[in-house]
Structure 1
Amino acid sequence: MTKLSVNLNKIALLRNSRGRDFPNVVAFAQKFIALGVQGITVHPRQDERHITRQDTLDLAQLLPWGSAVEFNIEGYPSEDFLQLVEKARPAQCTLVPDAPDQLTSDHGWDVIKHRQALAKMCSRLQAQGIRVSIFLDPSLEQVEAVPATGAERIELYTEAYAAAYGSNQLESVLPSYAATAARAQALGIEVNAGHDLDLQNLSQFLQIPAIKEVSIGHALMVECIEQGMTSVVAQYLTICGEAA
């Protein structure tokens, strides 16, 4: 079974557009948890255009370290970010190579180039009992460098898969994800996935064995608007429950 972690960034973005605490991020986390999701994800950015530092700390109170529902904080590992993660102490931190002004995540780490810096970050966070995942493109060359960082997991950046889904390109794209996941697992590294996964394309992606967790936000929120939270979450949980 694959765990479903819901990214709440779009709830925070909607709230911030009106200047008051509605919709409330923690309240929506509670709604998703009540529907059975196994994780909550946030991606706080320096400009706080959606999730804020305070949101992160509030969610940390709802989901303290050791909770059955895991809290995942993802983002670029600036010193401010690392200090926030240490204070919040989530179950997992996903390190993402985002620029401060970047609209959304659009590439994985060059682990070969940054392995020493990543190793220091991993060690620092792991000292607090925080599992570390590294955002990664499907690349056998890059995954070979991950063990040197000490990270327990990678998160496969799935935009290329989502863009190819439903086209002839999928036949050449999906095997690269499967090969990267298989190599990571052979190296003792667990595999997460996320970015542009949705109800249409998730099932085929999860034919890749032993994906531990998918983090889904943007598409899931749109689908909730169209179909309702209860129906959408139930569909995702069914797909994840049927995963290899």
Structure 2
Amino acid sequence: MLSGTGKSVRKVTTEGGLDVAGQRDKMRDACKRLADAGIQVSLFIDADEEQIKAAAEVGAPFIEIHTGCYADAKTDAEQAQELARIAKAATFAASLGLKVNAGHGLTYHNVKAIAAIPEMHELNIGHAIIGRAVMTGLKDAVAEMKRLMLEARG
């Protein structure tokens, strides 16, 4: 699977999602070419209905909802607001037939609430797992993250 992300050449990581709505023709062409080559496409977007609709319209079978604002929230209230926005976006995306992934800034401390969203298909987590793996080993770091996600699913 190829996950299309927006990234400035001066940044180490993404700061936000793609502007699919503003680049429909380019995105439609890219999704078609990749699909024709047998490559599944996921578009990394913000939890925004306009972007989600655009992702469905251009033929992306998957989206990855940007969870950076949730991860960076400074207060419990702010985090709850971002979580509600992500959950609403996931429900909307699923209603359009999109499979929903999420990622960016997820850690062992904040992953459970995102994993508990019923529409979530996959979570993309790298930095937190690799950081923990330095201390515990990769096998244990992955096992702990998996345990947290499964607990969240009940």
TM-score, reference length from structure 1? 0.59
The letter of the residue matching 2:102 is A
Q: Structure 2 regions of 5+ residues with no counterpart?
A: none
Partner of 2:77: helix, strand, or coil? coil
Q: Of the candidates 149, 158, 165, which is equivalent to residue 67 of structure 2?
A: 158
| In structure 1, C-alpha distance between the alignment counterparts of 2:12 and 2:121, rounded to whole Å | 27
| In structure 2, C-alpha distance between the alignment counterparts of 1:238 and 1:171, rounded to whole Å | 22
Q: Of the candidates 84, 88, 111, which is equivalent to residue 20 of structure 2?
A: 111
Q: Of the candidates 139, 142, 148, which is equivalent to residue 239 of structure 1?
A: 148
CA displacement, residues 80-133 of structure 1 (integer Å, 9 cap, x when unaligned): xxxxxxxxxxxx001111122222111101121111110000000001111100
The letter of the residue matching 2:32 is S
* Residues 32, 59 of structure 2: 8 Å contact kept: yes
1:141 to partner: Cα distance: 2.1
Partner of 1:183: helix, strand, or coil? helix
Aligned to 1:212: 121
> Aligned runs of 1:1-244 on 2, under 5 Å?
92-164=1-73, 167-244=76-153
Structure number with higher relative contact order (C-alpha < 8 Å, ≥ 6 residues apart): 1
Q: 1:239 to 1:170 in 2, by over 3 A?
A: same
| In structure 2, C-alpha distance between the alignment counterparts of 1:214 and 1:184, rounded to whole Å | 15
Q: Structure 1 regions of 5+ residues with no counterpart?
A: 1-91
* Aligned residues: CA RMSD: 1.5
Where is the helix percentage greater, Structure 1 or Structure 2? 2
Count of paired positions: 153
Partner of 1:103: helix, strand, or coil? coil
What percentage of aligned pairs have identical amino acids? 33
Aligned to 1:7: none
CA displacement, residues 154-206 of structure 1 (integer Å, 9 cap, x when unaligned): 00111111112763211211111001100000000001111111111111111
Rg larger in 1 or in 2?
Answer: 1
TM-score, reference length from structure 2? 0.92
Mean CA deviation greater in 126-135 or 213-222: 213-222
| In structure 1, C-alpha distance between the alignment counterparts of 2:75 and 2:133, rounded to whole Å | 22
Q: 1:165 to 1:128 in 2, by over 3 A?
A: farther
* Residues 107, 137 of structure 1: 8 Å contact kept: yes
The letter of the residue matching 1:229 is L
Q: 1:131 to 1:165 in 2, by over 3 A?
A: farther
| In structure 1, C-alpha distance between the alignment counterparts of 2:45 and 2:115, rounded to whole Å | 17
| In structure 2, C-alpha distance between the alignment counterparts of 1:126 and 1:214, rounded to whole Å | 22
Partner of 1:213: helix, strand, or coil? strand
